[in-house]
Chains A and B, each alone.
Chain A
Amino acid sequence: MQDDAVDQTVILCRACDMAVRKRALPSGVRALCPRCHTALYDTPYCSINGMLALCVAALAFYLPANLFPVLELHFLGSVRTASVVEGAMAVMSLGYWVVGVAVLTAAVVAPGILLLSILGQILLIKAGLKQGWQRTTYEWLLEQHGLLSQLTMLEIYVISFLVSAFQLADFSDIYFGVGTFCFTMLFLVTLFLQREYNLEHMWSYLDV
């Protein structure tokens, strides 16, 4: 698998295979495919240390966001609480395991693995990517990244506890819990982390 003498300034659109010559871009600008308008590349602004800080912050919010209640229901003097994990478990225990697994994957498992994977990638870059096993692990993590970020749906979950709160307000009093704050913070920090993260740029660490 030698690097053939391929002109590295030419890039191909992944959606329509159009060949485009790569040019330097001002920062914050994104190049679109002239034929089908798929995003081609943008100037990578990922700073490794910035990503590390965001990643650690997100991981710090991860456990409380998933274990503390995101909603509290006060009904005739009794208080009910539900965390993200309990929500998934509740539908699963009633036999709706497809729904439970979907909720658990999108709101708990995928975001967690995504954060750990980015942390691993950053640490491997910091270690220099010199040894064979480091490169193999790094490659493997990058290959999984697209799927993991597609499965991560923190933003939708944040909207969903607002919708639930409004729907249940008909029957009872609804309060937000500590988990609500932690989950919203987890979502915000992850959002900034994903903006900072550039998969194309991460792959280019393997070129040198």
Chain B
Amino acid sequence: MALISEGRFIEDAWRRLADEEALPKSGKIIVSLSRLEHAVAHLDAGVALGVLAPNTTEPEPLAAALPRLSLISIVFPAFADGRGFSLARLIRRAGFTGELRASGRLLADQYRHALGCGFDTIEIPDDLAERQDESQWQAERTAHARTYQRGYVAPGSILEARRKAAAK
């Protein structure tokens, strides 16, 4: 797997913990959603906790665990399945400030959608990373100066820019 952050491929400091693996005493681990409650209750305070959430996850049950979570990784089963974008919005709205990760066969062309909905990092399979090199992610990150929507994370909203231009 390759991890993209701020338009660059970076080392992943997180490790996915298999359900049958014992909880570690240190490090950064990502557990499955079904194991989340158990991990919150039993994990050492020094271990950073992340969760792998299917895109059909309801945000409400996650809410209780949010203060303990440092990472939420939302699964994109296919790049054309946009449910993860809405789920990301809801998780951010619930107050999550940690790392929000999109995991799946996402394309560089969708980077701005992901960033706009509150994702920080994108995790893609290696074969895809080979075809979509860093320059494509970097280009997509910087290509779109402004968007029409407000309330989304974006370099700038056209509506704000218009307002500023009109005030001059």
| A and B associate in one complex | no
Interface residues of B (CB under 8 A from A): none
